Structure formats: C-alpha cells, structure tokens
Chains A and B, each alone.
Chain A
Amino acid sequence: MHGEYKMPGGKLVVIDLDVRDGRLAHVQLSGDFFLEPDSALRTIDAALEGQPADMDDAGLARRIRDALAPDVMMYGISPEAIAVAVRRALQGEHLA
C-alpha cells in the first residue's frame, strides 16, 4: 500500500507499507525532505512498524516523536505529515 502527502510549505512525504493482523508492517518512509542525521529515517520506520492500523493520526505522530532523539532535525517533514501519509496509504489513495 502506498500513500503520499505533500506537506504544505514542506516536501513530499511518501509511505509504503503492508498490514498484517491489523498492524503496520514493512513500513518504508521516503521522499524529498531533509533529516539530520540520516539514520533518523530508519528510526521512524521502526517506530511505525507494528502499530495498530486503526491508530489515529495524533497517536502515530506521537509514536514517531517519542522515538526520535531530541537532536534530530526535520526540514520539510513532520511527524504529523508522516501520519497523514500513513493514513493515505491505509485508505488506498494511490496518487503516485
């Protein structure tokens, strides 16, 4: 499943994932945003992996925020924007 969200004033946030037993699986975040350090990408993927597919946007954003070290810098992307891309993927909005 594939979801995309162009964050207003930001960059394109893309999520590819599967759902297994009602939980997010094989989550892959991608896009033309900026993250420092670059290892934060894997941290975000891992934070989303296994979360209930029916979790709301605020819950997903909180999971992401909690997983990231305080020194991680995001530019053109936010935990909230990632949550929107997850929801779009789950809703089967294939915009690519």
Chain B
Amino acid sequence: MMRTEWHDHDWQLIHAAPQSPSLHMALDDVLTHEVGAGHRKPTVRIWEWASPAVVIGRFQSLRNEVDAEAAQRHGIEVVRRISGGGAMFIEPGNTITYSIYAPLSLIKDMSFQQAYAFMDAWVIEALGGLGIKAWYQPLNDITSEGGKIAGAAQAHRGGAVLHHVTMAYDIDAAKMLDVLRIGREKLSDKGTTSAAKRVDPLRSQTGLPRAAVIERMIATFRRLHGLTDDTLRADELARAEALAQTRFGSATWLADVP
C-alpha cells in the first residue's frame, strides 16, 4: 500500500437532514466499510441530530459512564459508537459533529498521535479563520486557550479509517453533569475539578450561528482538499437503517461493556 495525500482523493460531502442517534452510529459503520471496500469515494459527513443523545465510546462501561435514570428523565437516548474514546453529550444545535471516511493509505506509517492531528489540520485552519487560535492536544482533543473545543476518535475497519469529531457549539453543562458520571480520577491531571470548565464552546468564541460555523468549515475543507457535494445512496441508507434496528439500537450492543 502506497501512502496517499489528500489531493490524491476525490472527496465527497454528505450533509443530510437530521437523523436519529442509532442511525448515525450505523452510518459510520456502513460508510467506513463502503470506503474501505472501494464502493464509495473518500467522504466527509456532517451530522445533524434529530434528538438528544449520549454517545459512549466502544470500550466504556455503560453503568460507569451514564446515569440511566437521569438520561431517561431528560429524554436522552444512550448509544454506543464503534470507536473508542469518551462519552459525548449531544443536544441538537449544541454540537457540530463530522466523520471522515478515508482509505488507510492516507495515514500510512503515521503514529496514532500523528494521524489524529493530520486528519483535523483543516479544522484547526478553519477555526483560525474564525478567529480562534486552536491546536491539537494529544491524544485526541482540539483545544484553545479558553478550553477544550472538540474530541476526536478513530477506528480502523477493513482498509479504511473512520475519523469522527464532536465539537461543542453550545453546552448545557448542568444537564451534562446530571447525565454523565465524570469521576475524579478522570480529571486528576486536567488541572481543574470542574468538568464544565474543561469545555469552551464555539458559540461564545465565535458569536456566529452554528450553521455559519459549519459553512466555514466546509469551505475550508473544499479549498484545501477539494470537495464534491454528494448524498447517501439508497442501498447505504437501507443497510444503515437495518443496522440501526438490529445492532446499534439494541440493548445487547449498548451493554456490550455493561
């Protein structure tokens, strides 16, 4: 396998109407496989959320991470994604989430640390254009002087890498702390005891509407790497909907690490 560059690929953009949390999990699975198998060109997908969610990492313990009773009380669906990393608290309109599905050749011979920073260099540039001095903080955070902006996760599947990121646009920190169990050990080397203080959302930093931030991000990717507007194929959506039902919406998958 030869190392490839961004410009060696014909990047496609998918930005669909709001979808359910379990369908988002399934779409990441399906589209990673499609790119890995060569059935789809490398793709960027911007997520729109139909409903609030907590998305836990592949290896996180459901009961250790989530207060199920609080989640239910707030009407928040809890789902497990296929990549590692930490829990994300999602409310529609409060986060900007995107996925990049790329052939593994794009990050060939890179360390994990290099691969994370490489996949998000365009976002650092986009944020710079919005007046935010942001940088990559290993292992998997995008941060700024004000605090953390985003968390990334990667998974390798069948010849492709999935790189997805959730950025905080706005945040209801009180509700987040009600639903997520954030232990003291987790914060032990973060220099603060307040989980809420760790996040500095884009809304306060840019003063721009969420859609405008997304527009600027897309424009930056397009300028740097090229980007063609695309849509989900009917067969991709059908497979994702089936998986959302049978796997990603199932109690078995959610409690895979109970």
Contacts and interface: CB of A to CB of B under 8 A. Distances in A.
A35 interface: yes
B184 A30 contact: no
Contacts of A34: 59, 83-85, 112, 139-140, 153-154
Contacts of A70: none
Name the prevailing secondary structure of the A interface residues. Answer: strand
A41 B257 contact: yes
Given A16-B61, A30-B64, A9 B257 contact: no
B57 interface: yes
B183 A96 contact: yes
B162 to A, nearest CB: 11
B18 interface: no
Interface residues of A, number: 28
B151 to A, nearest CB: 9
Interface residues on B, range: 20 to 34
Nearest to A38: B58
B59 A30 contact: yes
B186 interface: yes
A6 B59 CA distance: 15
Given A30-B61, A31-B59, A32-B59, A9 B184 contact: no
Interface string A3-44: 011101111101010000000000011111111111001000
17 contacts: A5-B185, A14-B61, A16-B61, A16-B64, A30-B60, A30-B61, A31-B59, A34-B83, A34-B112, A35-B58, A35-B59, A37-B156, A38-B84, A41-B257, A76-B84, A76-B140, A95-B183
B84 A32 contact: yes
Count chain A CB atoms within 10 A of each CB in B87, B153, B185 and give the residue with the most.
B185
Contacts of A5: 185
A73 B86 CA distance: 18
B189 A35 contact: no
Contacts of A16: 61, 64
A76 B151 CA distance: 14
Interface of B: 57-61, 64, 82-87, 112, 138-140, 153-156, 181, 183-186, 188-189, 257-258
Given A31-B59, A38-B59, A95-B183, 8 more contacts: A29-B59, A32-B84, A32-B186, A35-B59, A38-B82, A38-B84, A41-B257, A75-B84
Interface of A: 2, 4-6, 8-12, 14, 16, 28-38, 41, 73, 75-76, 95-96
B138 A9 contact: yes
A76 B61 contact: no
Contacts of A9: 138-139
Given A14-B61, A76-B139, A36 B185 contact: no
Nearest to B186: A12
A50 B153 CA distance: 32
Nearest to A11: B139
B204 to A, nearest CB: 25
Contact of B60 (A2, A4, A31, A37): A31
